[in-house]
Amino acid sequence: MHGKTSVIISKKIGILRNAPVKFEATRYHSLIIDKKTLSKDLVITAETSEGIIMGVKHKKYNIHGVQFHPESIKTPVGLRILKNFINYKN
Higher per-residue pLDDT: 6 or 3: 6
Determine the distance from the C-alpha atom of residue 81 to the mean position of all C-alpha atoms in its chain, rounded to a whole number. 9
How many separate domains does the chain show? 1
Q: What is the CATH number of the domain that holds 52?
A: 3.40.50.880
Q: Which residues contact 28 (CB under 8 A, 6 or more apart)?
A: 1, 2, 3, 4, 69, 72
Provide the mean pLDDT of the chain. Answer: 91
Can you give the residue range of the structural domain that contains 69? 4-87
| 38-54 tens-digit pLDDT | 999 999 999 999 999 99
For residue 24, list its beta bridge partners: 7
What integer pLDDT is reported at residue 90 of this predicted model?
63
Strand positions, DSSP E, 1-90: 4-10, 22-27, 42-48, 53-58, 64-66
Please state, in angstroms and rounded to a whole number, the distance separating the CA atoms of residues 64 and 86: 11
